[in-house]
Amino acid sequence: MTDPTAASAAARGFASLAVHAGQQFDPTTGAVIPPIHLSSTYAQDGIGGLRNGYEYGRSGNPTRTALETQIAAIEGATHGLSFASGLAAEDALLRATLKPGDEVLLGNDVYGGTHRLIARVLGPWGVGVRVVDMSDLDAVAAALAKRPATILWVETPSNPLLKISDIAALACLGHDAGALVVVDNTFASPALQQPLALGADVVVHSTTKYLGGHSDVVGGAIVTSDDALAEKVRFLQFAAGAVSGPLDAWLTTRGIKTLAIRMQRHSENADAVARFLAGHDRVAEVYYPGLESHPGHEIAARQMRGFGGIVSLALADGPTARRLAESTSLFTLAESLGGVESLLNYPDEMTHASVRGTELAVPVEVVRLSVGIEDADDLIADLDAALASL
């Protein structure tokens, strides 16, 4: 199930890989866009006579292979594995690598669902979770020295407070302590940040976000160049079956083709929005790594090729933040992020409601913006009007 174009494609630049890796035209018809293979099963040339390894839709599908080849290529990896959601991908990775008694050391403002999965689904099976501020290297070193962790789970920029963690430094710390270093690269996307090149072992994606890019598909991916680890995750992908369906895989593939230019525009618009908000007297704080005042700005400038499309802001208090969240017209109030259209979310009651009252709780005065690719002036005018109405 390998893609014959993958080897030559590996030498190309990011935007070329995003458009071409795994996307060779259909050899029978010349159709430039590879067809969507909906078949759940494959004819065998005699028992066990499989064509290109395809046997049954859960174990393999050519449309999924095309996506997996593309995702591996754009992260600079050997293996990409695609799943039905970001959390399904995380679940497969965690169950492939952990056993009862093991612990995950998690950043203290990672996506709430990641914490919920480990604490509430894997917890009853004997897996432990500790949290630490991943942007504080001394705190991470102390936590690892106190007790070993099987996995060091890094999310940078983090959701929703845009904390920046130093991937290269954390990879060294994690490896010295014998941990597998996992980076959730959902917020940056590989167009802006390549964690494997910085020393991480595994990259996790909610492809629902920037990779899909159009808010029309839910999916996830695991990316690694570790053959043995990929084998274990692939076995679980097959054995548990949380695979992406062919139409979902195809939509994600189509989204990835424009990732490079979308991320450029998201970053430009987010920068303009962040600077507007930073100068507004109703806004108490702006969280955006592109601002020189952001504590992680220098690390972000070193390890990212752009600061991304997410901006969070703090208002005076929770009720004001709630009102802002309900007062925009171009920004749509909705969960999720990373689509071409601008969205806004009140984390405490929406995306991060599951971590209320825990160490990962998001301050009630915070609103998260997913800045889309519309005209920046229109986005700023919308926020300006909403802030004036408070």
Ligand X SMILES: Cc1ncc(COP(=O)(O)O)c(C=O)c1O
Among 23, 108, 189, 208, binds ligand X (CB under 6 A): 208
CA 189 to chain centroid = 6
Query: Is residue 159 at the binding interface for ligand X, with CB under 6 A as the rule?
Result: yes
- On whether the CB atoms of residues 116 and 94 are closer than 8 A, the answer is no
Query: Is residue 184 at the binding interface for ligand X, with CB under 6 A as the rule?
Result: yes
Total residues contacting ligand X (rule CB under 6 A)?
15
**CA-to-CA dists, residue 317 to 230, 326, 333, 385, angstroms:** 46, 15, 19, 19
Query: Is residue 248 at the binding interface for ligand X, with CB under 6 A as the rule?
Result: no
Phi, psi of 303 (to 5 degrees): -105, -5
* Polymer length in residues for the chain: 390
Among 73, 74, 87, 203, binds ligand X (CB under 6 A): 87
Binding mask 1-30 for ligand X (x = CB under 6 A): ------------------------------
Which one from 42, 111, 287, 288 is the annotated catalytic residue? 111
Residue 365: which residues within 8 A CB-CB, separation 6 or more? 284, 314, 315, 316, 317, 318, 320, 321
Query: Is residue 85 at the binding interface for ligand X, with CB under 6 A as the rule?
Result: yes
Q: Which is nearer to ligand X, 65 or 85 (CB)?
A: 85
Backbone φ/ψ region at 44: left (φ over 0), alpha (ψ -120 to 50), beta: beta
Among 186, 244, 303, 320, binds ligand X (CB under 6 A): 186
SS (H, E, C) 38-67: CCCECCCCCCCCCECCECECCCCCHHHHHH
Q: Locate 207 and state its tokens.
A: 């492809």
Among 181, 211, 218, 233, binds ligand X (CB under 6 A): 218
Among 57, 80, 113, 157, binds ligand X (CB under 6 A): 113
Q: Give CA–CA dist 13/108, Å, rounded.
A: 34
Listing DSSP states for 121-164 in one string gives IIGGGT-EEEEE-TT-HHHHHHHHHHS--SEEEEESS-TTT---
Give the SS3 label for residue 258.
coil
Which one from 209, 234, 262, 265 is the annotated catalytic residue? 209
| Shortest Å, Cβ 198 to ligand X | 18
Among 155, 166, 248, 348, binds ligand X (CB under 6 A): 155
Q: Tell me if residue 209 is catalytic.
A: yes
| Shortest Å, Cβ 26 to ligand X | 29
Q: Which is nearer to ligand X, 97 or 186 (CB)?
A: 186
Q: Give CA–CA dist 88/204, Å, rounded.
A: 11
Query: Is residue 185 at the binding interface for ligand X, with CB under 6 A as the rule?
Result: no
| Shortest Å, Cβ 336 to ligand X | 6
Which residue numbers are catalytic? 58, 111, 184, 209
The footprint of ligand X (CB under 6 A) covers 85-87, 111, 113-114, 155, 159, 184, 186-187, 206, 208, 218, 220
